[in-house]
Structure 1
Amino acid sequence: MRSTIILMLALLLIISGCSTSSSQMETSEKDKLTVVRLSDATKLDPHFITDISSANILYQKVYETLVVPDLDMKPQPGLAKEWEQIDDVTWEFTLREGVYFHDGTVFNADAVKATFDRLLDPKTASPQAEKLGMIDDIEIVDEYTVRFHLSAAYAPLLSILSANEGSIISPKALSENPKKLWEHPVGTGPFAFDYWKPGQEISIKKNEKYWGDKPKINQVVFKVVPEDTTRLAMIETGEAHVNDQVPITEIERIAASETLNLYRADGLGIEFLGFNVQKAPFDQLEVRKAITQAIDRKAVLKGVFQNSGMLANSPMSPKVFGYSDDVKPYDYDLENAKALLQEAGLEGLKVTITTNDRKERINVAEVVQSQLKKIGINAEVEVLEWGAYIEALNNGEHEMFVGGWGNATGDGDYNQFNVFHSSSHGGAGNHTYYNNPEVDRIIEDARKEIDDESRKNLYEQAMKLEMEDAAMIPLRYYEHLAVYHKDVEGLVISPVNYILLNEITIK
Structure 2
Amino acid sequence: MRRRTFLGLVPVAGLVTVAGCAPIPSSGPAAQGPPGVFRYAYELTPSRLDPHRASISQDGVTLFPAYDRLVHQSPVGEPEPGLARAWAWEDPLALRLDLRPGVTFHDGTPFDAAAVKANIERAKTVQGSAVRTELDPVASVEVRDALTAVLRLSYPSASLPAVLSDRAGAMVSPKALADGVDLDAVAVGAGMYRMVEHNRGQITRFERHPGYWDPAAAAAEKLEIHHIADAATRLNAVRTGVVDACRVPPALLDQAKQTGLEVSTAGSLNFNYFVLNRARSAFGDLRVRRALNHALDREAIRQGVYRGLATVSAQPFVPGYWAYDPDLGDDAIRFDPDLARRLLAEAGLGDGLRFSTVIPTGSDYQPLAEAIQAQLAAVGVTMEIAPAAPDTMGDLMFVQERYDAMLASWGPRADPSMTVATRYTANGFGNPGGQTTPRLEELHKQALATTDPAARSAVMHDLVDEVVDQVLEIPVVFPEDVVVQSSRVVGLVPRLMHRPEFRGVTVR
> Residue 480 of structure 2: SS of its match in structure 1?
strand
Name segments (4+ residues, structure 1) moved above 6 Å.
none
Q: Is residue 97 of structure 2 the alignment partner of residue 96 of structure 1?
A: no
Q: Is residue 115 of structure 2 the alignment partner of residue 111 of structure 1?
A: yes
Alpha-carbon shift at residue 403 of structure 1 (Å): 2.8
**Corresponding position of 1:9:** none
Alpha-carbon shift at residue 252 of structure 1 (Å): 0.5
The whole-number CA distance in structure 1 between the counterparts of 2:327 and 2:433 is 23
The whole-number CA distance in structure 2 between the counterparts of 1:115 and 1:307 is 44
> Residue 202 of structure 1: SS of its match in structure 2?
strand
Alpha-carbon shift at residue 442 of structure 1 (Å): 1.5
Alpha-carbon shift at residue 184 of structure 1 (Å): 1.2
Alpha-carbon shift at residue 125 of structure 1 (Å): 4.3
The whole-number CA distance in structure 1 between the counterparts of 2:105 and 2:402 is 39
The whole-number CA distance in structure 2 between the counterparts of 1:310 and 1:340 is 26
**Corresponding position of 2:365:** 361
Structure 1's 249 and 151: CA in aligned 2 closer, same or farther, altered over 3 A? same
Instruction: Check conservation: 1:93, 1:147, Cα contact below 8 A.
Output: yes
**Corresponding position of 1:332:** 335
- Count, aligned residues: 473
**Corresponding position of 1:455:** 456
> Residue 267 of structure 2: SS of its match in structure 1?
strand
Please state which structure has a larger fraction of its residues in helix: 1
1:142-175 Cα deviation digits (max 9, x unpaired): 1111112111222122111122321111111111
Alpha-carbon shift at residue 502 of structure 1 (Å): 3.2
The whole-number CA distance in structure 2 between the counterparts of 1:344 and 1:152 is 39
More contact order relative to length (CA 8 Å, sep ≥ 6): 2
The whole-number CA distance in structure 1 between the counterparts of 2:100 and 2:288 is 55
1:293-308 alignment, distance < 5 Å: 293-308=294-309
1:377-417 Cα deviation digits (max 9, x unpaired): 232222212123222211222123313222221x2202211
The whole-number CA distance in structure 2 between the counterparts of 1:373 and 1:499 is 37
Alpha-carbon shift at residue 433 of structure 1 (Å): 4.1
**Corresponding position of 2:426:** 422
Structure 1's 450 and 39: CA in aligned 2 closer, same or farther, altered over 3 A? closer
Q: Is residue 183 of structure 2 the alignment partner of residue 181 of structure 1?
A: yes
**Corresponding position of 1:277:** 278
> Residue 391 of structure 1: SS of its match in structure 2?
helix
**Corresponding position of 1:248:** 250
**Corresponding position of 2:23:** none
Structure 1: which 5+ residue stretches go unaligned? 1-26
Structure 1's 86 and 198: CA in aligned 2 closer, same or farther, altered over 3 A? same
Q: Which amino acid aligns with 1:396?
A: E
Q: Which amino acid aligns with 1:73?
A: G
1:134-153 alignment, distance < 5 Å: 134-153=137-156
Larger mean CA deviation between 69-78 and 249-258 belongs to: 69-78
Q: Which amino acid aligns with 2:94?
A: T
Q: Which amino acid aligns with 2:376?
A: L
2:38 to 33, 40, 54: 33
Instruction: Check conservation: 1:247, 1:359, Cα contact below 8 A.
Output: no
Q: Which amino acid aligns with 2:277?
A: N
1:274-297 Cα deviation digits (max 9, x unpaired): 322111222222222222211111
Greater CA radius of gyration, 1 or 2?
Answer: 1
Structure 1's 318 and 358: CA in aligned 2 closer, same or farther, altered over 3 A? farther
Structure 1's 434 and 104: CA in aligned 2 closer, same or farther, altered over 3 A? same
> Residue 491 of structure 1: SS of its match in structure 2?
coil
The whole-number CA distance in structure 2 between the counterparts of 1:84 and 1:378 is 52
**Corresponding position of 2:193:** 191
1:207 to 188, 201, 209: 209
Instruction: Check conservation: 2:324, 2:464, Cα contact below 8 A.
Output: no
1:68-118 Cα deviation digits (max 9, x unpaired): 222232222211222222111112222111111100011111111111121
Q: Which amino acid aligns with 1:288?
A: R
1:220 to 212, 218, 223: 223
Q: Is residue 374 of structure 2 the alignment partner of residue 370 of structure 1?
A: yes
The whole-number CA distance in structure 1 between the counterparts of 2:68 and 2:321 is 23
1:169-198 Cα deviation digits (max 9, x unpaired): 1111111114x1122111111101111122
The whole-number CA distance in structure 2 between the counterparts of 1:457 and 1:486 is 44
Larger mean CA deviation between 31-40 and 158-167 belongs to: 31-40
Structure 2: which 5+ residue stretches go unaligned? 1-31
Alpha-carbon shift at residue 238 of structure 1 (Å): 1.1
**Corresponding position of 1:236:** 239
> Residue 370 of structure 1: SS of its match in structure 2?
helix
Larger mean CA deviation between 82-91 and 452-461 belongs to: 452-461
> Residue 101 of structure 1: SS of its match in structure 2?
coil
The whole-number CA distance in structure 1 between the counterparts of 2:393 and 2:143 is 41
**Corresponding position of 1:487:** 488
Q: Which amino acid aligns with 1:181?
A: L
Alpha-carbon shift at residue 205 of structure 1 (Å): 0.8
1:62-101 alignment, distance < 5 Å: 62-101=66-105
The whole-number CA distance in structure 1 between the counterparts of 2:459 and 2:98 is 33
Instruction: Check conservation: 2:159, 2:417, Cα contact below 8 A.
Output: yes
Alpha-carbon shift at residue 420 of structure 1 (Å): 0.5
**Corresponding position of 1:351:** 355
**Corresponding position of 1:397:** 402
Instruction: Check conservation: 2:427, 2:434, Cα contact below 8 A.
Output: no
Structure 1's 289 and 198: CA in aligned 2 closer, same or farther, altered over 3 A? same
The whole-number CA distance in structure 2 between the counterparts of 1:28 and 1:336 is 55
Instruction: Check conservation: 1:405, 1:415, Cα contact below 8 A.
Output: no
Structure 1's 74 and 440: CA in aligned 2 closer, same or farther, altered over 3 A? same
1:222-275 Cα deviation digits (max 9, x unpaired): 22334332222221121211213x1322111111222x2223222122221232
Q: Percent identity?
A: 25
The whole-number CA distance in structure 2 between the counterparts of 1:124 and 1:303 is 43
Alpha-carbon shift at residue 470 of structure 1 (Å): 2.0
Instruction: Check conservation: 1:37, 1:224, Cα contact below 8 A.
Output: yes
Instruction: Check conservation: 2:37, 2:506, Cα contact below 8 A.
Output: no
